[in-house]
Structure 1
Amino acid sequence: MNIAIDRYETHEADVTDATEANSTPKRIVVAYGFWIFLLSDIVMFSALFASYAVLATATAGGATGVRLFDQHNVAWETAFLLLSSYACGLMSMAVDSRRYLGTLSAAAVTFLLGAAFLTLELREFHGMITIGATPQRSAFLSAFFTLVGCHGLHVTIGLIWLVLMMIQLAMWGFRPVVERRLLCFALFWHALDIVWVLIFTVVYLMGVLR
């Protein structure tokens, strides 16, 4: 009987050691797989950027970026998104040190700043549509709404994802699966930040020079 118990405990310890030994490689594999997803997303945005670059001057006699773009509004959008990325970095640090309150606080700041960015973007779209600058008006506006709107859709998905992750964190705590998902969210959010910097430069800054 004692021999059987000893064998069971030895087997259980071996399984636990194997699980712990495989936890780090699994995290690396998940991050690697998510990087592949992000690269495919970047390929899509690259195609949208290329389309916008070709169609930027195809206004069909309508309004151009000089008239439509509010640089102050765009500056606030950029500030909110950059600050949200900083808060997301603080959240990742809190996750690494398993600080529950710090993770929730940083996540809340990330969400609020991301929501503020999205609100300003929707207000910009509403203002443009109100004066007749709709996607159907010209190829330029079609490319603009597609590129910027696609980024806004990704931000919306990111905000929903963040809320779901905070629910999972509250329910399960710092389980390895939750930590991996939070890592993937951080990669996703920082990638959106990089894409927005390119949009800010190519669309808004260069747009007022045409």
Structure 2
Amino acid sequence: MTEERDTDIIIAEDHKPELNNDWSGGDRKPFRTSYGKLMMWYFLLSDAFTFAGFLISYGALRFSSPSWPVPDKVFATAPFGINEYFPNGEAPLIFVTFMSFLLIISSGTMVRAVQEGARENKRGVVFWMLLTVLGGAGFLGCQAWEWTNLIVKENMTVSTNPFGTYVENGYYLDPETGEITDEEVVEGETYLLHVAGQSHGEEAADDHGDDHGEAHFAYSTVPGDYPGYVVDGLRPDGTGDPTAKPFIHRKYVVVDEETNEQLLKVQEFGPPAFGALFFGITGFHGFHVATGVIFLLIILINAGSGVYVARMNGYEMVEKIGLYWHFVDLVWVFVFLVFYLL
């Protein structure tokens, strides 16, 4: 009896299925994929929820606010004097479109790198991954220029939004005399608050004075209330605050439809959430791009040195970084749609 049991145990052990070392507790890989790829999918799924939360928050604030900056006005600058070739010196969304083009092209080169990896073509993998790195680095360089322009030249920060939007039609006051001019204020139009002494002065007034009724007029850099404008920087007690930026707020009048009375208005800052959300979301995405470029370089070096061939696991790392890079590109499509087109 004992010998029969021992024989049964030996037979059972001989027919025991061989377990895959990658997965304990079963002999099949979930979704027929490797552990590394599955973990990458888990990470991308969780990251997608994070970005979705940011974009939904932006949308909620965007459509609940009575006014919001028009993207065509906020993102209307480009380097190398490109603005000069467009009407009014504005190149709406031209530069950010170029940024998006770079990222989309880099996604295509990443596809080619994965294809060459499947063919075990080391030189092809290195070549196409190098182009992907250049595309990602170019995108980061463009984003750095965009941020620098918004922060340094246009004075936008996470707490200050100098891009306001008119909610009523009206007419500007003359900056010097305070009299009503023929210069119209158009409802829904976005304006940029300038800093006294930086964006307005004798030269700026001479260049644009004929169009805006400000010929040969220089705004004061001293905080205070003037006939046709206000300069920020006063404390509640009336003294000047040297740490405050002296933004210029032009005055204008609107007509009350019920009483037909002229009401005096002053340009105001735009919703502060715009700057905070813009720098937060695009910065978070830029961090992902920078991280991707670093890992692309590491995998590129490993592929070129033959590490993956020596490991006998093919170019699976190229596939995994490819999944990440395509995710980063896809997220940018939604960021571009939300920030630059809505």
Is residue 169–residue 178 contact of structure 1 (8 Å, CA) maintained in 2? no
- Deviation per CA, 1:155-202, whole angstroms, max 9, x where unpaired? 000000011112222331433557232211000000011101111111
State the one-letter code of the partner of 1:56: R
Runs of 4+ aligned structure 1 residues displaced above 4 Å come to 17-22, 24-27, 57-64
Equivalent of 2:94, from 53, 56, 72?
72
Equivalent of 1:163, from 297, 303, 326?
297
Higher strand share: 2
The separation in 2 between residues aligned to 1:124 and 1:179, in whole angstroms, is 36
Is residue 117–residue 315 contact of structure 2 (8 Å, CA) maintained in 1? yes
Is residue 27–residue 180 contact of structure 1 (8 Å, CA) maintained in 2? no
The separation in 1 between residues aligned to 2:297 and 2:314, in whole angstroms, is 13
Identity, % of aligned positions: 26
Cα distance change of structure 1 residues 134 and 120 upon mapping to structure 2, 3 Å threshold:
same
Is residue 118–residue 314 contact of structure 2 (8 Å, CA) maintained in 1? no
Other-structure match for 2:44: 38
Q: Structure 1: where are the runs of 5+ without partners?
A: 1-16
User: What pairs up with 1:1-210 in 2 under 5 angstroms?
Assistant: 25=29, 27-56=33-62, 64-70=70-76, 71-130=93-152, 131-137=154-160, 138-171=272-305, 172-174=307-309, 175-176=311-312, 179-206=315-342
State the one-letter code of the partner of 1:161: F
Cα distance change of structure 1 residues 68 and 57 upon mapping to structure 2, 3 Å threshold:
farther
CA RMSD of aligned residues (A): 2.8
- Deviation per CA, 1:91-139, whole angstroms, max 9, x where unpaired? 0001110101100000110011111111111111110001111112111
Deviation at 1:28, TM superposition (A): 2.6
3-state SS of the aligned residue for 2:315? helix
Cα distance change of structure 1 residues 58 and 142 upon mapping to structure 2, 3 Å threshold:
farther
Q: Structure 2: where are the runs of 5+ without partners?
A: 1-17, 77-92, 161-271
The separation in 1 between residues aligned to 2:141 and 2:52, in whole angstroms, is 25
Deviation at 1:55, TM superposition (A): 2.8
Is residue 135–residue 142 contact of structure 1 (8 Å, CA) maintained in 2? yes
Cα distance change of structure 1 residues 106 and 60 upon mapping to structure 2, 3 Å threshold:
same
Deviation at 1:33, TM superposition (A): 1.7
Per chain length, whose mean CA-contact separation is higher, i.e. which structure has more relative contact order (CA < 8 Å, sep 6+)? 1
Deviation at 1:50, TM superposition (A): 1.4
The separation in 2 between residues aligned to 1:58 and 1:141, in whole angstroms, is 16
Other-structure match for 2:232: none
Higher helix share: 1
Is residue 136–residue 142 contact of structure 1 (8 Å, CA) maintained in 2? yes
Larger Rg: 2
State the one-letter code of the partner of 1:134: T
Deviation at 1:203, TM superposition (A): 1.1
